Chain A
Amino acid sequence: MSLQQVDPPSRSGGGGMSKLAQLAQKRALQNNTTSNVDQSESNDESDITPVKPVSKLSALARARASKASNNSKSLETDGSNKSIAILDRLRSSTNTSAPPTMNSTPLASLLTSKREGLSIRSNLTKKVNPIRLSPPSPPPPKTQNIMVSDNVTTKEEDTSVQLTYDVSLDNSIISTNPVNSISSFLFKRKLSSSEHLETEDIEQDQINSKRRRQDQLFYPITNFEIQNLEKLEKVKQNFTQLSPDDKILQAQHNAFNDNFQNLKVTKPTSTGTTTPPKSASKSSKSLNIESELASNKTYAKPHKSFVVIGHVDAGKSTLMGRMLLDYGIVDAKTVDKLVKESMRVGKGSFALAWILDQTEEERSHGVTVDICATDFETSTTRFTAIDAPGHKDFVPQMIGGLSQADLGLLVVDSIQGEFESGFAMDGQTKEHTILAKNLGIEKLCIAINKLDKEDWSEDRFNHIKSELTEYLTSDEVQFTSDQLDFIPISGLTGNNVVKRDSTIASFSWYKGPTLGEYLETIKLSTNLDSKQLIDEEFFLTVSDSYKDKGELKVTGKVISGIIQSGDSIISLPSEVKLPIQSLYVANKKMDFAINGEVVQLTFKASQVSNDNVDPFRIGDLVAKADIVGGGSIKSLKKFTVSLHLFNMDKPLLVGMPFVLFRNNCQVPARITKLIEVTSAQGKKKKKNLLHLVSKQTAIVEVEIEGSSSLPLTKYTDNKTLGRIVIRREGATIGAGTVVDY
Chain B
Amino acid sequence: MLVKNKVKLKDKNVAVTFVPQDSEDLWYLYNLLRVGDTVQVLSHRNVKKGNQSQIQKGKSKMEKVLVKLKLLTEDIDYVASDNNMRISGKSIEPNEYVPLNSYHTADVELNKDLTILKEGWDEYDMSIIDDLCSVEKKADIGAVVLQEGVAHICFITETMTVLKAKVEKSIPRKNPQYGTRDLDKAMNSFLTMVEETMMRHFDFDNLKVILLASPGFLAKSLYDKVLMDSQSGQNSNDNKQFNSILQNKAKFVIAHSSTGYLQGLEEALQDPQTKKRLSDTKFSEESEALSQFQKALNDDDDRAWYGLNEVTKAIHMDAVKYLMVTDQLFANDDVETRRMYISLTEQVKQQGSKVYIFSSLHESGVQLNQLTGIAALLKYPVPDLDDSEDDEDDEE
Contact = CB atoms under 8 A, between A and B. Distances in A.
Interface string B260-277: 011100010000000000
Interface stretch (B60-68, B113-121, B176-184, B240-248): B176-184
Contact of A658 (B176, B216, B263, B370): B263
Contact of B267 (A356, A545, A649, A730): A730
Contact of A543 (B173, B183, B186, B257): B173
A394 B215 contact: yes
B298 A650 contact: yes
A657 B369 contact: no
A513 to B, nearest CB: 27
B263 A657 contact: yes
B370 A654 contact: yes
Given A393-B216, A544-B175, A676-B396, A655 B263 contact: no
Interface residues on A, range: 35 or more
A335 to B, nearest CB: 15
A711 interface: no
A358 B180 contact: yes
A54 interface: no
A225 to B, nearest CB: 25
Nearest to A652: B298
A705 B182 CA distance: 30
A127 B200 CA distance: 82
B262 A668 contact: yes
B393 interface: yes
A530 interface: no
B179 A358 contact: yes
A648 B291 CA distance: 13
Contacts of A359: 174, 180, 183-184
Interface in A399-455: none
A618 B388 CA distance: 50
Given A650-B295, A656-B367, A677-B396, A370 B259 contact: no
A693 interface: yes
B307 A648 contact: no
Contacts of B363: 657
Interface stretch (A95-103, A182-190, A201-209, A680-688): A680-688
Contact of B217 (A361, A546, A676, A730): A361
A374 interface: yes
B170 interface: yes
Interface in A638-658: 648-651, 653-658
Contacts of B297: 650-651, 653, 691, 693
Contacts of B180: 358-359
Interface in B178-228: 178-180, 182-184, 186, 215-217, 221
Interface residues of B, number: 50
Contacts of B366: 655
Contacts of A555: 173
A358 B178 CA distance: 11
B371 A655 contact: yes
Contact of B216 (A375, A391, A649, A657): A391
A569 interface: no
Contacts of B370: 653-656, 690
B372 interface: yes
Contacts of A548: 178, 182
A690 B261 contact: no
Given A648-B298, A655-B371, A544 B267 contact: no
A329 to B, nearest CB: 9
Contacts of A616: 170
Contacts of B259: 396, 659, 668, 727, 730
A686 B386 contact: yes
Interface in A648-706: 648-651, 653-659, 668, 676-677, 684-688, 690-691, 693-694, 705
B173 A618 contact: yes
A653 B295 CA distance: 12
B79 to A, nearest CB: 16
Nearest to B310: A686
B170 A545 contact: yes
A686 B149 CA distance: 41
A616 B173 CA distance: 13
B358 to A, nearest CB: 13
Majority DSSP secondary structure for residues of B touching A: loop
B94 interface: no
B172 interface: yes
A365 interface: yes
Interface string B88-108: 000000000000000000000
A694 B298 contact: yes
B258 interface: yes
A687 B174 contact: no
Nearest to A330: B176
B333 interface: no
B174 A668 contact: no
Contacts of B148: 370
A693 B298 contact: yes
Contact of A374 (B176, B216, B258, B388): B176
B288 interface: no
Contacts of B306: 690-691
B347 interface: no
B217 A365 contact: yes
B122 interface: no
B294 interface: yes
Given A545-B170, A617-B170, A691 B371 contact: yes
Interface in B147-170: 147-149, 170
B300 interface: yes
A529 interface: no
B216 A372 contact: no
A617 B150 CA distance: 12
Given A358-B179, A690-B371, A370 B174 contact: yes
A475 interface: no
A372 B298 contact: no
B267 to A, nearest CB: 5
A731 to B, nearest CB: 8
Contacts of A369: 216-217
A729 interface: yes
A546 B371 contact: no
A230 interface: no
Nearest to B171: A618
Contact of B258 (A365, A543, A654, A727): A727
A40 B349 CA distance: 67
Interface string A363-385: 00100011111110000000000
Residue among B172, B257, B300 with the most chain A CB within 10 A? Answer: B172
Nearest to B391: A687
Contact of A668 (B171, B176, B263): B263
B294 A393 contact: no
A616 B170 CA distance: 8
Given A649-B295, A694-B298, A618 B170 contact: yes
Interface string A274-287: 00000000000000
Contacts of B298: 648-651, 693-694
Contact of B263 (A375, A391, A659, A687): A659
A657 B261 contact: yes
Interface in A526-579: 543-546, 548, 555
A616 B182 CA distance: 16
Contacts of B267: 729-730
Contacts of A657: 261-263, 363
Going nearest first, the 7 A-B pairs with the smallest beta carbon separation are A655-B370, A730-B258, A546-B172, A393-B215, A657-B263, A668-B261, A544-B173
Given A618-B173, A659-B259, A668-B259, 5 more contacts: A359-B183, A372-B173, A544-B175, A650-B295, A659-B261
Interface of B: 147-149, 170-180, 182-184, 186, 215-217, 221, 256-259, 261-263, 267, 291, 294-295, 297-298, 300, 306-307, 363, 366-367, 369-372, 386, 388, 393-394, 396
7 contacts: A358-B179, A396-B215, A654-B370, A655-B369, A668-B263, A685-B396, A688-B307
